[in-house]
């Protein structure tokens, strides 16, 4: 025997589906644009060697993503020993989220114009596809933040997904650079 459905279940599922489809649509649009774009290897927002400054920005983004996760855990009262939530925590979470996103834009613009979406090796393919998914997941998270009456798990799932994607992007780019242009063996 199953429990009766709540009156708004269909509406909630519909909103989640629309948000998910919009996120996938953004990721697909970035992917298609990157595949159709003719790479311009001479383009750089970062000087003659763009990899070191992009790696630094990516590392800052990774640190901000870790801070975002900690602040979110605190806001959801899932951070052990954190105590009462001070008023500045939600504002700090929003500000660091905006900074994180803003720092990704010059990196993404350079990657998209200089390289496009490439599938030439496993590292490059994972990095390219993760970059597309980042902007789709970000779109979904922003829509979830501004949606009401959605399940409590939706926003943390979107935020966690974003943090994981940032980690994958950092691993396949900045760590690759810091490790002598090779991925470390796990």
Q: What is the pLDDT of residues 54-71, one digit of tens each?
A: 999 999 999 999 999 999
Tokens of 123: 């590292």
Q: What is the per-residue pLDDT for 2?
A: 45
Q: What is the per-residue pLDDT for 79?
A: 83
What mean pLDDT comes out for the span 69-97? 89
In a domain, 6, yes or no: no
Q: What is the per-residue pLDDT for 130?
A: 98
Query: Does 1 have pLDDT greater than 60?
Result: no
In a domain, 32, yes or no: no
In a domain, 17, yes or no: no
In a domain, 163, yes or no: yes
Query: Does 110 have pLDDT greater than 90?
Result: yes
In a domain, 144, yes or no: yes
In a domain, 129, yes or no: yes
DSSP letters of the chain?
Answer: --PPPPTTHHHHHHHHHHHHHHHHHHHHHHHHHHHHS---TT--SS-S--HHHHHHHHHHHHHHHHHHHHHHHHHTT-STT--S--THHHHHHHHHHHHHHHHHHHHHHHHHHHT-S--SSHHHHHHHHHHHHHHHHHHHHHHHHT--S--TTHHHHHHHHHHHHHHHHHHTTHHHHHTTSSPPP-
Query: Does 4 have pLDDT greater than 80?
Result: no
Which range among 33-42, 147-156, 175-184 shows the weakest confidence by mean pLDDT?
147-156
Rounded percentage of the chain residues whose pLDDT exceeds 90: 77
Q: What is the per-residue pLDDT for 3?
A: 45
In a domain, 4, yes or no: no
Count of C-beta atoms within a 10 Å radius of residue 80 = 5
In a domain, 39, yes or no: no
Query: Does 109 have pLDDT greater than 50?
Result: yes
Domains identified in the chain, total number: 1
Which range among 22-26, 27-31, 74-78, 163-167 shows the weakest confidence by mean pLDDT?
74-78
pTM of the shown model? 0.90
Close Cβ partners of 23 (under 8 Å, ≥ 6 residues apart): 136, 137, 139, 140, 143
CB 65, CB 163: distance < 8 Å: yes
Supply the range of the domain harboring residue 135.
Answer: 44-178
Tokens of 170: 């950092």
Q: What is the per-residue pLDDT for 33?
A: 96
């Amino acid at each position: 025997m199953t429990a009766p459905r709540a009156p708004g279940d269909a509406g909630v599922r519909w909103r989640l589906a629309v948000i998910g489809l919009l996120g996938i649509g953004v990721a697909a649009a970035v992917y298609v644009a990157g595949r159709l774009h003719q790479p311009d290897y001479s383009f750089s927002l970062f000087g003659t060697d763009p990899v070191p400054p992009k790696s630094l920005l990516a590392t800052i983004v990774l640190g901000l993503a870790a801070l975002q996760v900690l602040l979110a855990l605190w806001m959801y009262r899932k951070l052990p020993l954190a105590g009462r939530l001070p008023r500045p925590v939600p504002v700090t979470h929003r500000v660091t989220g905006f900074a994180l996103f803003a720092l990704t834009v010059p990196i993404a613009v350079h990657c998209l114009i200089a390289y496009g979406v490439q599938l030439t090796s496993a590292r490059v393919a994972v990095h390219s596809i993760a970059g597309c998914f980042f902007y789709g997941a970000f779109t979904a998270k922003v829509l979830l933040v501004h949606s009401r009456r959605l399940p409590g798990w939706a926003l943390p799932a979107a935020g966690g997904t974003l943090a994981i994607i940032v980690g994958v992007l950092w691993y396949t780019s900045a760590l690759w650079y810091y490790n002598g242009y090779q991925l470390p063996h796990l």
